[in-house]
Structure 1
Amino acid sequence: MNSFLNGSLRVCAFCLVISPVQAEVTHASASGFIIENSQVTSADPQSTWRALVSDVDKWWPKDHSWWQGTFTIDTSAGGCFCERAGDNSAEHMRISLVNSPTTLIMTGGLGPLQGMGVNGALTWKLIPEGSGTRVTLTYKVHGYAPPDGFVDFAPVVDQVQSLQLGGLITYLSKSNDE
């Protein structure tokens, strides 16, 4: 496993201790994987949606970026989940569905998956739960596999996704405290 993945595992293990997220690799094979992470926030769905799409630069973990740049989400079909830093820019994912304030689907490969040429669908579901919102993040990835397939790789991606969802939930928690 390369140093990026080893570092991600250490960071994610720490973050999972301080930010409990229900995380699960629901499927992993030689040609793809499905992961699902879920957590409840005390914020209502509309506030959660606003934080998800409008404040992504405030909660997305900067250590999971190309340049620790500025993140934006253009909430229209074909829009970009992008990072910019000076003259550098990256399309992390493309927006394929916006159903405010319940569903956002983005397609593409995050991090090292981008260079692997895989296809992925990242779905954010926001469902009212009690006086708050359950946020469920599902990532379905398939394509040409690394030499050992995706079975060992999927848990690493799952932990990184837990970190990203945890960033949103922590941001919402701090925003509600203000």
Structure 2
Amino acid sequence: MQRTTRLNRAPRWATFALTTLVAWSGVSTAAVKDSSASGFTVENVEVVPVDAATAWKALVHDVDRWWPKDHTWWGKESKLSIDARAGACFCEIAGARQAQHMTVTFVDPGTTLRMVGGLGPLQGMGLHGALEFRLAPADNGGTRITLYYRVGGYSPDDLGKFAPVVDQVQAVQLRGLADYLRKAHK
């Protein structure tokens, strides 16, 4: 027997209105899609009022302008770059200090950017992940950007415990891109 909740009983027009409001208000959605002792998947979504080509350009060419500096190894000293070619690098350079955050593995301009590696402390833990930025037309115009990150590997710790924290960090990073695009659109 299915349990009826208040949301399930809401009229269709109310559900549509709420969905539309969320899409246009810039509210993001975040979710730990799954987790276990050996890994997890997180997904964050933002809808921005620009076309996919504009979003792609900002994603790839302006990463140093929108990625939060407090989520880099060397803060304001750092220069971030994404070379959108298979085998290339999402890198951070601060003089002689350098980090290859991820390796680009798939590029479909305006649609998908896939990179592999471990971001932040996950890298030092020897964990590996596949991160995708997926761009698609939003229902009411603009572009829906989905940041999807699946992480796994050996750890003496339960990796599922890291999922909520990584999800929150990914939300901040995606919000950086979305806010950058919203400001540029004004």
Short-chain TM bin = 0.7 to 0.9
CA distance in 2 between counterparts of 1:117 and 1:57 reads: 25
Which residue pairs with 2:118 in the alignment?
109
Q: 5+ unaligned residues in a row in structure 2: which ranges? A: 1-24
- CA deviation string 1:128-153 (max 9, x = no partner): 11320000010000101242x01221
Q: State the alpha-carbon separation in 1 of the partners of residues 169 and 26 from structure 2.
A: 13
Q: Given the alignment, which residue of 33, 44, 52 partners 2:51? A: 44
SS at match of 2:71: coil
| Aligned position for 1:82 | 91
| TM-score when normalising by structure 2 | 0.83
Residue 59, structure 1, aligned to residue 69, structure 2: no
Mapped to 2, the partners of 1:139 and 1:30 lie a distance apart of 16
The higher relative CO (CA closer than 8 Å, separation ≥ 6) is in: 1
1:43 alignment partner, SS class: coil
1:151-170 residue pairs with structure 2 within 5 A? 151-170=160-179
d(CA) in 1 for partners of 2:26 and 2:166? 17
Matched, 1:132 2:139: no
What is the TM-score when the length of structure 1 is the normalising length?
A: 0.87
1:33 lines up with 2:46 in the alignment = no
Unpaired runs of at least 5, structure 1: 1-17
Q: Specify the code of the residue in structure 2 equivalent to 1:144.
A: Y
2:181 corresponds, among 167, 172, 177, to 172
- Tell me how many residue pairs correspond in the alignment: 159
Pick closer, same or farther for the CA change 1:40–1:146 going to 2, 3 Å: farther
If you compute each CA radius of gyration, which structure gives the higher value, 1 or 2? 2
Determine helix, strand or coil for the equivalent of 1:125: strand
Using a 3 Å threshold, how does the CA distance of structure 1 residues 87 and 54 change in structure 2: closer, same or farther?
Answer: same
SS of structure 2 residue aligned to 1:145 = coil
Counterpart-to-counterpart distance in 1, 2:176 and 2:170: 10
Which amino acid is 1:139 matched to? Y
Kept after mapping to 2: 8 A contact 1:32/1:145: no
Aligned Cα RMSD in Å?
1.2
